[in-house]
A and B are shown apart, each in its own frame.
Chain A
Amino acid sequence: MTLPAMQDQGSKIVVGIADLRVSNDPADTIVTYALGSCLGVCIWDESAGVAGMLHAMLPSTRTDPERGRTNPARFIDTGIPALFKAAYAMGAHKDRIVVRVAGGASMASNGRKDGFQIGKRNYIELKKILWRNGVIITDEDVGGGVSRTVTMDVATGVVMVKAGGQEYNLARRFPRRS
């Protein structure tokens, strides 16, 4: 007995908090939920057909280097290299990789100010490591005060963002800052 239909339908790959996933199956979609101050970083190499997504919580391992070793996807400064290397392992090349970013919101609650500004720190750390490694962001939807759900289609690299009751394509929203 075989299960023929299941093979080609692809699957929905869920990226948890402090997690990263890559895929080269054009039938797959990659999704991460409820990005607040966390950053969702999507990378895509059209030629290699490789897509990857990181859901990082904090900017830097400086405060907790041990945790950076055990769970690199928790931090931007270890998660970004891990994400790119995972995509390289599937045949992606840096100079073809397109980067799309969502999240980094300012999550003030109950009238309290967002004193630590984790969302902004995450974004600055991302810009720093990308600049150092010669990578530029193609599209982004960052900041503001909303929680975002991000879905990427492996075949087309299209990144859809769901936030505040709306869903939109992240492409060509650049430049947009808040």
Chain B
Amino acid sequence: MAFNVLVVDDSAVMRAMIVRTLQMTGVPLGEIHQAGNGQEALEVLKDQWVDLALVDINMPVMNGEELIERVRENPLIRDLSVIVVSTESSETRIERILNQGAEFVHKPFTAESLRETILQVTGVSDDQRASVGAPPGDDFDF
């Protein structure tokens, strides 16, 4: 199977970094959707089947915490796997996130640390990975 993924962050550069890391994990990927805030993410989730969402916390319009609450309230999408990728350090907020059944990766992250959490959440084993993975690109040296 291939995973459909939704990346939610108000920074286009950050979304690009997360997508690049996803492509380097070797996890089989289906469609990759992007959203700039929680509201846009809910719009995507209305129309598209998504298996995994990577979500920032501090975003305009609707923050990541509210997005996760809305997802958990909706019977159609409440089982969505969520990884929060955020600078958040407040114990209070991190506990609330974990209580919503989301994993947490602290920013700044390394590609290696984010990969570990993605592999853990997707449950993709080494045998199931198509390869180590490499993103498409035209700026390669080798």
| Interface residue tally for chain A (C-beta within 8 Å) | 23
Interface string of B7-25 (1 = CB under 8 A from A): 0000000000000110111
Which of these, B23, B113, B115, B116, contacts A134 with CB under 8 Å? B23
Interface string of B67-79 (1 = CB under 8 A from A): 0000000000000
A contact residues around B131 at 8 Å (CB) = 95-96
Given A84-B142, A136-B24, residue A131 in contact with residue B111 (CB < 8 A) = yes
Given A85-B142, A132-B140, residue A137 in contact with residue B112 (CB < 8 A) = yes
A contact residues around B110 at 8 Å (CB) = 127, 175
Cβ contact within 8 Å between B141 and A136: no
A contact residues around B20 at 8 Å (CB) = 131, 134
Cβ contact within 8 Å between B113 and A135: no
A contact residues around B101 at 8 Å (CB) = none
Cβ contact within 8 Å between B112 and A136: yes
Q: A85-B142, A95-B133, A136-B112 are in contact. List 4 more A-B contacts (CB 8 A).
A: A133-B137, A134-B135, A134-B137, A134-B140
Given A127-B110, A175-B112, residue A135 in contact with residue B24 (CB < 8 A) = yes
Q: Which residue of A lies closest to B131 (CB)?
A: A95
B contact residues around A98 at 8 Å (CB) = 132
Would you call A80 an interface residue if the criterion is a C-beta within 8 Å of the partner chain's C-beta atoms? yes
Task: List chain A positions with a Cβ less than 8 A from chain B.
Answer: 80-81, 84-85, 88, 94-98, 127, 129, 131-138, 140, 174-175
| Most chain B beta-carbon neighbours within 10 Å: one of A135, A138, A175 | A135
Task: List chain B positions with a Cβ less than 8 A from chain A.
Answer: 20-21, 23-25, 110-113, 115-116, 131-135, 137, 139-142
Which of these, A95, A127, A129, contacts B141 with CB under 8 Å? A129
| Most chain A beta-carbon neighbours within 10 Å: one of B113, B134, B142 | B142
Cβ contact within 8 Å between B112 and A135: no
Cβ contact within 8 Å between A95 and B142: no
Cβ contact within 8 Å between B142 and A136: no
Q: Which residue of B lies closest to A132 (CB)?
A: B139
Q: List 9 A-B contacts (CB under 8 A).
A: A95-B134, A131-B20, A132-B139, A133-B137, A136-B21, A136-B111, A136-B115, A136-B132, A136-B133
CA distance A63 to B16 in the complex (A): 31
Cβ contact within 8 Å between A134 and B24: yes
B contact residues around A96 at 8 Å (CB) = 131-132
B contact residues around A85 at 8 Å (CB) = 142
Given A95-B132, A95-B134, A96-B131, residue A132 in contact with residue B141 (CB < 8 A) = yes
Cβ contact within 8 Å between A97 and B112: no
CA distance A88 to B142 in the complex (A): 9
| Most chain B beta-carbon neighbours within 10 Å: one of A84, A96, A98, A136 | A136
